[in-house]
Amino acid sequence: MPENVKTGETASQQTKEKVTFAGFLKSHATDLMAYAGLAVMLILFVVFNSGPRLMYNFGSVIQAAAVYAILSLGAVFIYSMGFMDVSLGQQVGVYVIMMILIGNKIGGIGGVIIGFLLVLALALVCGAINGAVSIFLGLPSIVTSLFLMFFFTGAQFLLMEGTGENTIALEVASALRPADRNAYSLMLIGIIVLLALIGTYFFKYTKLGKYTRAIGANKVAANQSGISLVKWQVLGYMALGFCTAVASFVMLTRTGTAGKGTGSGYAMDIMICLILGGMPLKGGMKSKISCALVGALTYTLLSNVLTTMGVPLQWVNFVKALIFLIIVLLTCRKSTGILPR
Amino acid sequence: MKSFKKIIALMLACCVMFSMTACSGNGGNADGNNGKHVKIGVGLYQDSGAAVDAVKAYLKNLESTLNVEFAYTVLSTNDEALNITKVQELIAAGCEGIIITMDAGMDAILAECRDAGVYLAGYLCDFDTSYRNNYSGVFENEYFLGTVGDGPCGDHTTRGVDFFNSVIEYNERNPENPIRHVAGTVFPAFAFPYSKVNFDQFVAEVEKYNAENPDKAITVDPFNEETDVLMFKPVDSTYFSKHPDIDAIVAFNAGSFVYPSMVSAGVADTMKLFAAGYNDGDNAVFGSKGAYQQEMVCAVESITYPLVLLLNKINGASYSDQPETAERRDCSTMIINSDEDLAKFEHSIYLTFQPEDAFLTPEEVLNLTAYANPDATYAGLCEILDHMTIEDLK
């Protein structure tokens, strides 16, 4: 009975397709919600910015999102292992101050480049320390990053105190970026895209990404499979260090100045960006580079849209907190707790 | 299916929330000589507190007469990136003029203003870093219109003299229990360069007084770098052991950095506090009711200076005596150093939030603008800043 067989196969296929589609929705619910959140923000952004200032505001969003996006791209490598780094903001603050001090001391663009290279080296060393110490001492990663946070807080304070000023400015700041605002926005987009491509390559197609995700999914199983926890944890943190140095440079191109508050709050902002982007805080195989970009854009657009909509000042943080809470609750894994998956 | 319901519920909740909180600008047009409809952004230094509520109440009352609406945000003392973002958001929200209270990231902020054709002015900030290090970049920038300080600006400071006068006034009111021994607190010089200058000014005044009145001499404890410089944290408990037997503290910072430590140390009932700034609830422990014997604030109405400059510029008007470059203007200070002063202060807009208690009515502010009143002058605008003292309260 070919007909019956054929009919039976079709029904089976249809059932399979239904199950697959439902399964797809279920397994990608967090991603879909993250993209939906970004889409809603983009729609609101266009609606409330229609007119001559749309392009201006688009540039503003790119400027504000750039540092978040670059830091988030690096943070994906450690969040995928289920770790976090609370020293990010203070590191950014110290790195920007160092680049200004070194740049002004040596002079010219060359001084800034030397400053950046030194900062890059320091960021990589700090990343390595952050990753290695927690393994060697058996400490939670947040504890070692707390140590770095206090260290950099003190360093930032001492550096600024040494200048005798509340804020310091880079003498060649105007030379670091195109004078034209749109050209600067394009430059930032270029940096973000380039880093996203590099990040995607390393995270998706190399051992670095595969092993860090494996460590996040099951540390013991990963270790027993021959994955060196020390090596890949250190490399993951160094990837974040690289992005932190680049983000600091990007921040310097934007502000041209730094103070003792530069970078404050960035560690929490990055965590929020990643959650808004659909990043599972426990890390694992569902971690994606796209979470960084989606989250950074959504977070920046949210702040921008709330202001352009005229939401009263005292309600802005409340609305942000409410949206954040709703997203966390919607994406929670009921069987295990309140954090996304 | 449950996920879909959740998504829809989230989106609906967001839509409702956004629509409820969305801007409800009046969109009115200018009538007569009150200028075109303008939106002004105000970047404050905090999002709540008496001063914030008072300035909002004052500005709200000006909206219809001056045909202006206001949008608010909060800036950071030293996070330049945040300040730039906040200014960009105000520009995106349609502001044609922005009043800011912070001097951080000014080059980048003014570049944003240039690109957007938006003007900027300062309030409660002397822009001292820019004034000393980047005068041409900021004060000579065509998009920066000027600023009014939180009292006397820079070298004009008289805070040390004001503190000294308050101590002497207290002694004259309390001859049976005068203050004879004091110590000070200041903020670090890198953040507030004139804080220590004010303390030194106070010491100089005391020395002058002691020379003329040896029988009423006041002792000022030598400045102690370790305990007297407050790194934006409350006074350390060791302060009182380092400064034993003092009758009072002269705090060249807000009393909130000192008073809680006085309470913790059990000296709030016996020691007096002369402080700069005013915090909510201070009046409950002021004068005969507690430790506070002096507080000083600038009237919120001093925001009239940057506001009028912005409105003039946006409406294409200027004064006949308009200076060529932007200025930073001193503002008179309301010094509260007696129960009587406090009683007057409690009837100011600073604490009542009632526009009728303000120094200026909307009509008076409109009359200060060059476009509404051709006879208005820059000197006239500056003069109002000299008449916002406790004695000037109606």
Fill in the amino acid letter for A263: G
- Give the DSSP H or E segment for B64: helix B50-66
Tell me how close the Cα of B226 comes to any Cα of chain A, in angstroms.
15
Is A281 part of any domain? yes
Q: Which of B6, B80, B107 sits opposite A258 (nearest CB)?
A: B80
In chain A the first and final C-alpha atoms are separated, in Å, by 48
Q: Determine, yes or no, domain membership for B53.
A: yes
Judging contacts by C-beta atoms under 8 Å, the chain A residues touching residue B134 are 169
Task: Please give the span between the terminal C-alpha atoms of chain B, in angstroms, as a whole number.
Answer: 66
Put simply, whether A55 touches B (Cβ < 8 Å) is no
A64 in reach of chain B (CB within 8 A): yes
- Touching check for B204 and chain A: CB below 8 Å? no
Q: Is residue A5 part of a domain?
A: no
Residue A7 lies in a domain: no
Among the ranges A224-238, A300-314, B198-212, which has the highest mean pLDDT value? B198-212
Please determine, for residue B26, whether its predicted confidence score (pLDDT) is greater than 70: no
Q: What is the pLDDT of residue A59?
A: 92
Residue B104, φ and ψ in degrees, nearest 5:
-145, 130
Does the residue A11 lie in any domain? no
Residue B157 region by backbone torsions, left for phi larger than 0, else alpha for psi between -120 and 50, else beta: beta
- For residues B258 and B314, state if they share a domain: no
Q: Which residue of A has its CA nearest to B74?
A: A313
Of all residues in chain B, the percent with pLDDT exceeding 70 is 91
Going from the C-alpha of B60 to that of each of A242, B23, B214, the distances in angstroms are 48, 15, 53
Residue-level pLDDT at A10: 54
**B228 and B180 in a common domain:** yes
CA distance B172 to B170: 5
Predicted confidence at residue B21, as pLDDT, reads 39
Residue ranges making up the domain that contains A137 = 53-330
Contact yes or no for B78 and A36 at CB 8 A: no
Same domain assignment for residues B161 and B293: yes
Query: Does B112 fall in a domain?
Result: yes
pLDDT confidence bin for A7, thresholds 50/70/90 = very low
Query: What's the whole-number average pLDDT of chain B?
Result: 89
Angstrom distance (rounded) from CA A303 to CA A193: 22
Residues B148 and B161 in one domain: no
Looking at the fold, whether B235 and B277 belong to one and the same domain comes out as yes
**ipTM greater than cut 0.90:** no
Domain count, chain A: 1
B29 to chain A, minimum CA–CA distance in Å? Answer: 19
Residues A310, B93: contact at Cβ < 8 Å?
yes
CB atoms within 10 A of CB A5: 9
A15 contacts: CB under 8 Å, gap ≥ 6: none
- The two three-digit tokens of residue B341, written as one number: 């002063």
Q: Per the CB < 8 Å rule, is A262 touching B81?
A: yes
Q: Is residue A139 part of a domain?
A: yes
More confident call, A75 vs B19:
A75
Interface of B with A in 184-203 (CB under 8 A): 188-191
Tokens of B161: 């003299």
B118/B176 same-domain check: no
Contact check, Cβ <8 Å, B108/A256: yes
3-state secondary structure of A206: coil
For residue A30, tell me if it sits in a domain: no
In a domain, A13, yes or no: no
Considering the domain boundaries, does residue B324 fall inside one?
Answer: yes
Task: Confirm whether B313 is domain-assigned.
Answer: yes
* B294 shares its domain with B161: yes
Give residue B231's pLDDT. 82
Is there a contact between A303 and A324 (Cβ–Cβ < 8 Å)? no
Per-residue pLDDT band at A17 (split at 50, 70, 90): low
Is the CB of B84 less than 8 angstroms away from the CB of A63? yes
Q: What is the CATH number of the domain that holds A97?
A: 1.10.3470
Regarding whether B131 and B51 lie in a shared domain, the answer is: yes
Sequence letter at residue B87: V
Token pair in block for residue B157: 């400071």
Partners of B91 on chain A (C-beta within 8 Å) are 53, 56-57, 60
In total, how many domains does chain B have?
2
What pLDDT was estimated at residue A139? Answer: 82
**What are the tokens at A271?**
């965590």
* B52 occurs within a structural domain: yes
Domain assignment present for residue B28? The answer is no
Same domain, B255 and B122: no
The CATH number linked to B198 is 3.40.50.2300
On whether residue B18 sits in a domain, the answer given is: no
| Closest among B315, B316, B308 to B369, alpha carbons compared | B308
Q: How many CA atoms lie within 13 A of A75 on its CB side?
A: 35
In a domain, A71, yes or no: yes
Contact A261 B79 (CB under 8 A): yes
Question: Do residue B306 and residue B263 come from a single domain?
Answer: no
- B273 and B386 fall within a common domain: no
**Which chain A residues have a beta carbon less than 8 Å from that of B81?**
67, 251, 254-255, 262
Distance from CA of A282 to the nearest CA of B (A): 21
Across residues B302-324, what is the average pLDDT?
96
Domain that holds residue B198: 155-298
Residue with tokens 């707390």: A146
| Beta-strand pair B97-100/B38-44 | parallel
Angle B386-B387-B392 from CA coordinates, rounded to 5°? 150
B57 and B162, same structural domain? no
